[in-house]
């Protein structure tokens, strides 16, 4: 694992609380993500993983506490093009009659504006993103004709096309087979190490996340653990979890 520049904090949560109704889903969560980190967030179903991700992205606003991106409060943060997001399966986009290249070029909207035609640089960055995820050869295929694994790569390429500094991924391997999953995680490792991209991955796959990520967060309403995956695996948390049947392993 390369040296992470811990002097640069990309995302800071401070005592964040959130509830959809009267019941708190996220309680007093504080954590910092630094440039170059590969953060895996795990936890039981209903433990608040996806809610936490939405709070980090500003899709939801905390009831209490603060979220800061690149040193700015979410309300003041404007440079959303440097934030990449790969959501859970997006059925609408999967069935749109567009090519892979067209899908990926959508990632450039934040840079050029929605109604401006792509220029040479947009074209170049789109092709580069396809190359980074090894699907350049499928650029003219319809998105709906891709396999599950290829489709996931296309959505990552779309995020990459915007030249982000951090990419958030929400359960990205749901519904793809083990071999495809393995290749997908190899790709994420490459993006983290070679492009020095900061990654935040929400997953229920403890064994994969523990071996791939540089930091691991375990959330069950509160953040019960945040630190090195090795420590988590040999610590009391892990044994308690396995005892409760709280994670997939």
The answer to whether residues 192 and 223 belong to one domain is yes
The answer to whether residues 151 and 176 belong to one domain is no
The answer to whether residues 113 and 170 belong to one domain is no
pLDDT tens per residue across span 100-120: 999 999 888 766 555 566 688
pLDDT tens per residue across span 9-48: 999 999 999 999 888 999 999 999 999 999 999 988 889 9
Is residue 9 domain-resident? yes
With a cut of 80, say whether residue 4 has pLDDT above it.
Answer: no
Which of 149, 164, 179 is the last residue in one of the domains? 164
pLDDT at 1: 43
Is residue 82 domain-resident? no
Residue 170 structural domain: 1-70+165-249
The answer to whether residues 205 and 222 belong to one domain is yes
Q: Which pTM value belongs to this model?
A: 0.88
pLDDT tens per residue across span 187-225: 999 999 988 999 999 988 887 888 889 999 999 999 999
The answer to whether residues 119 and 241 belong to one domain is no
Question: What percent of the chain is predicted at pLDDT more than 90?
Answer: 53
CATH number at residue 2: 3.40.50.300
The answer to whether residues 194 and 138 belong to one domain is no
Which residue has tokens 């990632």? 107
Q: Between the CA of residue 4 and those of 1, 8, 32, 35, what are the distances in Å? A: 8, 9, 13, 6
pLDDT tens per residue across span 134-169: 999 999 999 989 988 898 899 999 999 999 999 999
More confident site: 246 or 176: 176
Which of 107, 132, 164 is the last residue in one of the domains? 164
With a cut of 50, say whether residue 177 has pLDDT above it.
Answer: yes
């Amino acid at each position: 694992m390369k040296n992470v520049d811990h002097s640069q904090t990309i995302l800071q949560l401070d005592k964040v609380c959130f509830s959809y109704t009267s019941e708190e889903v996220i309680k007093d969560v504080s954590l910092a993500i630094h440039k170059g980190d590969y953060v895996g967030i795990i936890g039981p179903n209903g433990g608040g993983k996806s809610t936490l991700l939405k709070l980090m992205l500003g899709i939801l606003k905390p009831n209490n506490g603060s979220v800061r991106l690149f040193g700015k409060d979410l309300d003041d943060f404007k440079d959303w093009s440097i934030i990449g997001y790969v959501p859970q399966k997006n059925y609408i986009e999967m069935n749109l009659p567009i090519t892979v290249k067209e899908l990926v070029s959508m990632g450039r909207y934040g840079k050029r504006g929605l109604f401006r035609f792509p220029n040479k640089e947009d074209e170049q960055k789109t092709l580069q993103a396809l190359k980074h995820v090894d699907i350049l050869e499928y650029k003219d295929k319809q998105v709906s004709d891709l396999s599950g694994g290829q489709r996931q790569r296309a959505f990552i390429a779309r995020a990459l096309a915007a030249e982000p500094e951090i990419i958030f991924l929400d359960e990205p391997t749901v519904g793809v087979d083990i071999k495809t999953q393995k290749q997908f995680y190899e790709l994420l490792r490459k993006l983290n190490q070679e492009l020095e991209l900061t990654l935040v991955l929400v997953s229920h796959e403890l064994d994969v996340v523990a071996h791939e990520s540089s930091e691991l967060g375990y959330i069950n309403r509160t953040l019960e653990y945040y630190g090195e995956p090795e420590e988590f695996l040999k610590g009391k948390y892990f044994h308690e979890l396995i005892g409760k049947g709280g994670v997939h392993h």
